[in-house]
Chain A
């Protein structure tokens, strides 16, 4: 497991501004600009009227900033046949994300708990298979799963996409919780057993309350992962539940006639908003999530 970044010991501090350090700061400044450029361009483009976009410079600040494009993107941009804006997709993504995050974490933590503290026969085979499967591209599973869901009568629906996110979130979630529970002192578990606590009691009363940091990490990982999903939502959610990423792609890439770049960029920013808020709001937790998820890699 990759440890989260720790602060450097004071011994290596050297703060004098030598030419080498000027070079270092120049490198950091230029690379930071490269990483920020797309975000900046998105924001300024979304605030310009089309005439200004056509005549002006991509990088120029808007002469007369307006939020018209944002309003249009949210309420009336066309996604294929309907023109109700990206708010439909936003609500769909929320409806998909909330139950998927909760259920995938419940199932994953329970599986991880059973695999770490309870010696179940064949448990290692199950876990090993999961770790290998985490690498396999979705394309291998998608068609049979479509058939299975249509056979069971669920077809493409909200429930289907929630189950799908739970299935594909299972390896990472299991790994996260399994490793965490395995790192807890085993005496804790033994004492609870001696006191006569059963399997689910120990899980609900002792293990999950102790796993709060892992739950935070799992929520961050799953929230951004499920919100950003495109392919699973496209295939399994059904026409009425298409997530925001799919709607966004429809708005931008299936427009007839002249494209409204300002509306496109406003819709793109709106789609990126939730992950960005989670990212900047969670700080080091996000990095911790990457580190924990990276164990599989």
Chain B
């Protein structure tokens, strides 16, 4: 259909905000961040090109190394636990249970709450003097210890516990939609063959749900790279620097430690990592023709 000049102008004015965002934010801001990472900017941005010096400093920085180490631990555990728990919950709900809607609401409600709220609640639950550890001891398990949140080597696992609690319901919702999409004929056929139910899930249903798993995994992974609020609210990166994460490293060096060069080098590293993960996914989706 040929567009009249008027409509063409209207369509372009309607897209102006998006175009502006694309130019200023997507291209401009990203480009500037990358450029800053190649300069020796400290408190104020400057244009003294220093090559990859900031990246050398970055990967020699204990705090950054700890952050990267933590985000890998968090990412692997959080994604795999949330995926498996979410899937199990969806399978359980899919067995024609009573009060399905109520159960589903219970599993999913944490996802409506912010990371700050999630972090603060779990900070309280994991409090060694008055929290779960105290409860266990008062029940007679005198030697019970559950003080992960105050121990440097275990603090990051506390973030995992809170994160999994918050996000498993989301996975459950995605998986349940996938399970409900499984053809009834498949179930009939497996019943005729006398296959036990768990075998059907493991050998037939899970391989069929690739798209649901991929959607959930990508959704969870983007949350991993963004992880910031939870660390700030729950442990503030502590004890010491034990639960620092990359996003927090960037924020701290931008606004508190006045080291823009180093902060933008860290941000650029995050950007490259995300693109390395997302690009193959988009390629896969485009090839499958799912991107409409």
Contact = CB atoms under 8 A, between A and B. Distances in A.
A268 B117 CA distance: 6
A231 B89 CA distance: 31
Contact of B120 (A123, A132, A268): A268
B92 to A, nearest CB: 5
A143 B116 contact: no
Interface stretch (A51-59, A63-71, A74-82, A210-218): A51-59
B216 to A, nearest CB: 8
B156 interface: no
B18 A35 contact: no
A3 B15 contact: no
Q: Report, as a range, how many residues of chain B touch the other chain.
A: 35 or more
A224 B201 CA distance: 34
B109 A279 contact: yes
Given A13-B96, A199-B7, A129 B26 contact: yes
A230 B21 contact: no
Contacts of B120: 248-249, 252, 264, 268
A93 B89 CA distance: 34
Contacts of B109: 35, 39, 276, 279-280
Given A12-B187, A32-B103, A252-B120, 19 more contacts: A11-B188, A24-B97, A32-B107, A35-B168, A35-B169, A118-B7, A131-B282, A137-B225, A137-B267, A140-B271, A142-B251, A143-B254, A166-B17, A228-B114, A228-B115, A231-B251, A252-B233, A272-B113, A272-B114
Interface of A: 2-6, 8-9, 11-15, 21, 24-25, 27-28, 31-32, 34-39, 41-42, 45, 53-54, 57-59, 107, 110-111, 113-115, 118-120, 123, 126, 129-133, 135-145, 147-148, 166-167, 170, 174, 179, 182, 190, 193, 198-200, 203, 224, 227-231, 235, 245, 248-249, 252-253, 261, 264-265, 268, 271-272, 275-276, 278-280, 283, 286-287, 290-291, 294, 297
